[in-house]
Every structure is written in structure tokens, then in C-alpha cells.
Amino acid sequence: AIQTAASDEPGQPFLEFVKSRAADMRAGEEPPASLDEWRKKRVEIRKRLLEAWGGFPQDPCPLNPQILETLQRDGYRVEKIIFQTMPEVWMTANAYVPDRTGKLPCVLCVHGHWPEAKQDPHVQSRCIGLAKLGFFVLAVDAFGAGERGIVEGRGEYHGEMVAATLWPIGRPLGGLQLYENRRAVDYLLTRPEVDGSRLGITGASGGGNQTMYAGACDERFKAVVPVCSVGNYQAYLGTACCLCEMVPGALEFTEEWGVLSLTAPRALMVINATQDQIQFSVGEAKKSLAMVEPVYRLFDRPQNVKHATFEAPHDYNQPMRETMYGWMTRHLKNEGDGAPIPEPKMKVEDLGTLRCYPGDTRPDDWMTIPRFAAREGRKLCERVVAPGDASAWRQTARRLKRRLDQEVLGGTQPKPGAKPRRNAAPPAQTFEFEPEPGIRLNATQTAGGAPQRSGTMIVLSLEGEAKPADNGLSMAAHQSGRTVVSLTLRATGKHAYSHDKIRRAPDHNTAEWSSWLGRPLLGQWVLDLRAALNALEADAGLSGEVTVIGVGPAGVVALCAAALDSRIQQVVTVGSLASYISDVPFENQRLGILPYGILRDAGDIPHLAALVAPRKLIISGGVNGGGQTLGEAALRQQFEFTSRVYALEQAAGALTILPAMEDADLIRNCSLTLPGQREGLSAEPARVDPIDVPRR
């Protein structure tokens, strides 16, 4: 379902913050005044798009196409085909081949979020219609959809925590779809029936997004028809969309008009429905096209861009298809004036008939999205090797910290803010602070119980603030005599957006909105924690050594914050994710802790943990991506890299890796007197040079 935020619902301040930042990023944009100006901008947009998608392989793998079966129909035949897009990654497809001779114009049909993907009647209808009108047609299953899902039966949804496995490796699903559609064109050019100079592409909804990006980035397409998909990037803010429709950081360098304009001067028809969601609405599409049309005029091809609207819901109905037939006929056959062409009579197939792998006949080693993400993630981790001495590691650590802060998290150094406001009298006080304009947060600070001990423990949970009276861990810390701070981070707890959850992702929408800005939630949460430290210091509320305890997914927040801020002298993770590499969809995690490219640019969670060395670190239990608890042996094996770095720093005693502990036992282990002191370590808390770099 798609939701639009109401002004009075929880989480609205965060949405307003995101929308304000997006508007500032794209403020004052004007259409290019000349072809030279556009050509320069065009190069920059394409370059940034490629970066956002993680780049494409330099050397495409062999296609190795196979025709598995052929079905003869009235006026055309249907071929069941597979071909290889990337090593061991196979695309399932159906080719609709007219009973005609000579080289034929061709249309690539990409599907949207219909469960049956290429077999769905919506897709079949346009394929049969085009074939009967003399077009060679190829319908493909997108990665993770149709026959390419995790299970072999009815296709499942390829978004949320399935597509999320790709984010840490820096290869988002939208980019992989674009690359695979390029490989589909490579395959089409091997077919003797296809005229490679007359290629088109069309799709609706998520398939319309694929169409837009393929048309923008692959100039082999001469006619491009996205349906019920074009609008405006800023209109996505406040709605839910699939991860396959996301371009990480897109608003940093363009709006949707810039992508659409990359098609110029080739033929572009945008189809919208009046009853569609806001991000695909007629009004939002008009905003984009108002910037696209001047680009076409610069090429003296105003007739090559057209906007067609229909009184209809989100669909690819017969009138829309007939309009597409006329456009494709005009621009790929050079026939007619582009007016709609009546749809030929047809009969769609039973859904199972078109499957390349009916029943349970798909190979057992079939490459799914999570398996692909895990394979590529392991390759990335192999590049991070623990140096042989502490000096070399410290150089590596400084480089990784800068990458983590700037390239992955979007900058986490808070700007100086106003002094926090205290709202209650001791021993339990609530204070409010503003990490950045538009975001107001609160935390509860409780003085330690008797006997009082020097030290502050900050307890983080992405479920919201946990007061000592309501939480066993906070209570144990309080009873140990330390001051306890329970902090509610933005877009969590009482600040959470009320319609945030999509299936397994509790923070699906807020994480997506943040990614459009190039500001992943993990980076914003780290900034919040660092701003809270500033607020406590400004109000003399930061006493003694600082320990940050991250519970569940918040453990990743604690590790990243400690890596970048030396005021955190001890870190504890409790039942947290132990690795970003998962060959199954993430369970019981947050989309916000899976920032784009973190495995590629900074490393896996054990590498982040190593950046805390030589300060004290406690890993209390852990889980894999599927949510399964790791035993002690598996946990130690997972954090072997972390242990090696602590040994290099002669701080092996500062690292504790144990299965889940009782709250009281965990707090007792949080002594800052390092066991390694007997091995020559100083009793002074370890300090690490802070990373003080400007915000992007």
C-alpha cells in the first residue's frame, strides 16, 4: 500500500525535515539554456547515476542463451528462453516472434510489481498485441521476481529486506535491473530476426521506472514508453515505494526531469493515470515534463516527447496499450502519425504455461538476490586485510573512518547547537536538544543509584527511550552507581513515523526517504548520538567515562559512533547483527542500519568493531542476517578480524566476546579497568584521534 503522511500524525517533523532538505537541494533549477549547457549537465548526471548504481562490469560475461521450449500460436510463436546476465545469474524470458520474414522492430517489455511477472496478463497482453502488429517482443523476469524469486513457486516481492541485502555491497536493485535490461538488449542483437536499429522499451509501475532508466542510459533504445511511473523524486517523500525504484542520493545531483531528458532527442512518451498515487500522478509528471520539453526543443525535436493521460487507476490498460502501439509504430516502423492503434484480438495463456521452469524443476543452485549479495559481499571483505603491525593498521583505520563518515554515512559531525533544555528536577531529568535544524530530540538522564560511581552509560534502542524502571539493562546500569542516559533517536520511538513499516522492514519509508538525500538513517542516528554527547557536555551532564550500549540493531549505531568519536570509551553491543553478509532476507533488523555501500567502502561489522580498538568493546551475543542467534564459537569466528586488530594494539584484554549475558552480568563486565593492564596497558582510558572532517 502507498501512504501519504497527514500533518498531525507521528513522525511528521521528520518528514518535514526530509522534504525541506530535498527542496533546498533542488532549489532554483532551470532548464538548460543551450545544447552545450545540456551536454555538460548530461555527462554529469549519467556519471552520478552510474556511481549511485555501483557501476557495471567492465567485461560482460557470455550470454550462453538457451531456448528451452517453443509454443506455436496464431500468427506468432512463444519461446521460453534463459540467458546469463552476470556469472551464474540467469534471466528467464519469453520471446514473442511474429510469423513474418525479414528484420523486425523489437520491443523489450519489462514488468511491474505483478506477482506473476512476465507471465502476468498485463504483460502478456502488450506482448501479444505487439507481436500481432509485427514486432519481435522480449518479456523478461526482473531479478528476484517471477521465476527468479527465492522460492520456486509463485513469485514473491523482491523489495524490502530481500533487496536490502544488496545495499551494503553498493549494488542496489534498480541498478542491477538496468544492467540486466542492457544484457537483454545484447541478447536481442544476437537474434537474426531483430533489427538492432529499431528497438523500444515499455513497462508500467516498477517496470515504468526500469523503462525510464534504460531509456536514459542505453541509447540503443529509440522509443521509450514508461507507464504509470513518471512523476517527481520529491513526491516520493511521504510515500512508500519499492527498493527497486530507489536511486541512492539522487536528489544530490538531479530531479527526475534530468533522467528523462537523457532520452532526448530519441522518442519518449510518458503515460499517466488520473487516479494514480502522488509520486506517479499527472501533476507531478507535468512538473518533470515542463523541464524535459525545453531539452527536446534544444534538439529541434519537440514532436519526439509526448504526455498521454488517462482517466484510470494505476494500470497498463487497453487504451494505454493502444496509445503505446501507435507510438512504437510511428518511431520504430516509420508508419502512421503516432495515433493509437486498435489492439488485435488475442487470448492470453494460463499463467503456468509460459514458465521456463514449471513446477519444482528450477536448478537447486539458482542465484537469488540474497545469494548474489552474499557472494559479492564476501569478495569485498577479502579486500580488507588486517595489517601486520599496529602502525599500519592505524593508517588503514584512519582511511576507513573517513570513508565511513563521509562516503557511507553522509557526514556525522554535528554543528554547534543551542544549550539543551532541562525539563525536570533530579534524580531523573529529561533534556531536549536539536542535532540539526528541524530535528528536536529528547533523552532521560538518571543519576546513579547508591553507591554512586563515576561514569555515564548511554543506552540505545531503536524501539525508543528505555527508562531504568522499565528496562532491565538500564536498571542494572543504574544500580551499579553510574549515570544512565536513555536516548530516543530521530524517526524512532515517540518520533517514529506511524506508517513506516513495510513487511519485514519496520523503518522502510523513513530509511528510503533518507537515502534519496544521500543521508542514510544510520548516519543520522550517529549524528544524533554525537549531538547528545555535545549537549551533555554543554550542560555538565557528561560525567566520567562514557559507555554506549546498543541493543539489537542499535548495536551498529553504537559501533559506528564509537569509531568516529573518541569520547566514547567503551562500547557494548547486545544481540546485534554480526555481519552484513546474508544469503537470506534480513529478519528482525532495520533498513536504516544497512547503508548503501558500507561493505564496499568501510567493511563489514567486524571491521567497524575493529575501529573501536584499543578502547574496551563487549560483544554480548549476536545474530546473523536471518535473525538466528550465534553460538560462542560462531561469534568468535565472526569477529576474528576484530580480535586480530585488538591483538595488534596489545589490547586483547579490552575485547570481550561472549554469548548473551544476563543484564547484571553484562553491566559488571563494563568495568573500564582493562584486564590487559597486567600486560603493560595503561590504566588511563584509551583515546583515539577524532575524525574532524567537514560535512558534505
- Of the candidates 479, 582, 653, which has an alpha carbon nearest to the alpha carbon of residue 161? 582
Distance CA 85, CA 64 (A): 9
Distance CA 316, CA 295 (A): 27
Distance of CA 113 to the CA centre of its chain: 17
Q: Which of 116-125, 378-387, 401-410 has the lowest mean pLDDT?
A: 378-387
Question: 353 with 71: CB under 8 angstroms?
Answer: yes
Kindly report, residue by residue over 125-178, the tens digit of the pLDDT. 999 999 999 999 999 999 999 999 998 766 678 999 999 999 999 999 999 999
Distance CA 349, CA 96 (A): 13
Kindly report, residue by residue over 131-144, the tens digit of the pLDDT. 999 999 999 999 99
Give the rounded percent of residues in the chain with a pLDDT score beyond 70.
Answer: 91
Distance CA 381, CA 370 (A): 16
Cell of 218: 542505453
For 10, 238, 389, the CA distances from 7, given in Å and listed in that order, are 9, 11, 56
Helix, strand, or coil (residue 657): strand
Taking residue 195's Cβ as centre, other Cβ atoms within 10 Å add up to: 17
Grid cell 542516559 is found at: 485
Q: Are strands 76-86 and 89-98 parallel, antiparallel or unpaired?
A: antiparallel
User: Any idea what the Cα angle at residue 571 is, between residues 570 and 574, rounded to 5°?
Assistant: 145
pLDDT at 680: 30
Q: In this model, does residue 681 exceed pLDDT 90? A: no
- Say which residue, 204 or 498, is predicted with more confidence: 204
Distance CA 145, CA 180 (A): 13
Question: 150 with 162: CB under 8 angstroms?
Answer: yes
Residues 6+ apart with CB under 8 A from 597: 54, 167, 168, 169, 170, 248, 407, 408
Residues 665-674, mean pLDDT to the nearest whole number: 69
Grid cell 528467464 is found at: 92
pLDDT at 542: 75
In the predicted model, what is the mean pLDDT of the chain?
90
Kindly report, residue by residue over 477-511, the tens digit of the pLDDT. 777 778 889 889 999 998 999 899 999 999 999 99
For CA atoms 348, 349, 350, 355, the dihedral sign is negative
Residues 6+ apart with CB under 8 A from 325: 129, 130, 133, 340, 341, 343
- Say which residue, 655 or 498, is predicted with more confidence: 655
Q: In this model, does residue 80 exceed pLDDT 90? A: yes
pLDDT at 481: 75
Question: 594 with 577: CB under 8 angstroms?
Answer: no
Sheet holding 66-73, edge to edge: 66-73, 76-86, 89-98, 136-140, 104-110, 194-204, 221-227, 267-273, 305-310
Residues 6+ apart with CB under 8 A from 431: 420, 421, 422, 423, 442, 443, 445, 535, 539, 541
Distance CA 622, CA 647 (A): 21
Q: In this model, does residue 673 exceed pLDDT 80? A: no
Residues 6+ apart with CB under 8 A from 139: 93, 94, 95, 96, 109, 110, 111, 118, 123, 124, 127
How much of the chain is helix, strand and coil, in % rounded to 5? 40, 20, 40
Residues 6+ apart with CB under 8 A from 471: 459, 486
- How sure is the predictor about 474, in pLDDT bands with cuts at 50, 70 and 90? confident
Q: In this model, does residue 3 exceed pLDDT 50? A: no
For 110, 246, 521, the CA distances from 213, given in Å and listed in that order, are 12, 11, 26
Q: In this model, does residue 652 exceed pLDDT 80? A: yes
- How sure is the predictor about 692, in pLDDT bands with cuts at 50, 70 and 90? very low
pLDDT at 483: 85
What residues pair up with 307 in beta bridges, in sequence order?
A: 270
Helix axes 35-52, 206-217, angle to 10 degrees: 120
- Say which residue, 545 or 564, is predicted with more confidence: 564
Distance CA 457, CA 6 (A): 37
Cell of 587: 529478519
Position 282: which residue type? V
Q: In this model, does residue 683 exceed pLDDT 60? A: no
pLDDT at 387: 78
Residues 22-43, mean pLDDT to the nearest whole number: 96
- Say which residue, 185 or 484, is predicted with more confidence: 185
pLDDT at 677: 38
Position 564: which residue type? L
Taking residue 385's Cβ as centre, other Cβ atoms within 10 Å add up to: 10
Distance CA 596, CA 169 (A): 7
- How sure is the predictor about 679, in pLDDT bands with cuts at 50, 70 and 90? very low
Give the rounded percent of residues in the chain with a pLDDT score beyond 90.
Answer: 78
Question: 199 with 186: CB under 8 angstroms?
Answer: no
pLDDT at 477: 77
Grid cell 545544447 is found at: 35
- What is the DSSP-derived secondary structure letter of residue 405? I
DSSP 503-539: TTBTTHHHHHHHHHTT--HHHHHHHHHHHHHHHHHHT
Cell of 556: 551498529
Task: Give burial (CB, 10 Å; 0-12/13-18/19+) of 426.
Answer: exposed
Q: Are strands 267-273 and 221-227 parallel, antiparallel or unpaired?
A: parallel
Position 234: which residue type? Q
Kindly report, residue by residue over 582-636, the tens digit of the pLDDT. 999 999 999 999 999 999 999 999 999 999 999 999 999 999 999 999 999 999 9
- Of the candidates 100, 59, 95, 91, which has an alpha carbon nearest to the alpha carbon of residue 79? 95
Distance CA 323, CA 339 (A): 7
- Of the candidates 410, 467, 471, which has an alpha carbon nearest to the alpha carbon of residue 442? 467
Kindly report, residue by residue over 342-384, the tens digit of the pLDDT. 999 999 999 889 999 988 899 999 999 999 999 999 999 988 8
Please tell me the pTM assigned to this model.
0.93
What stretches of 299-335 show up as alpha helix (H) in DSSP?
318-332
pLDDT at 686: 36
Q: In this model, does residue 293 exceed pLDDT 80? A: yes
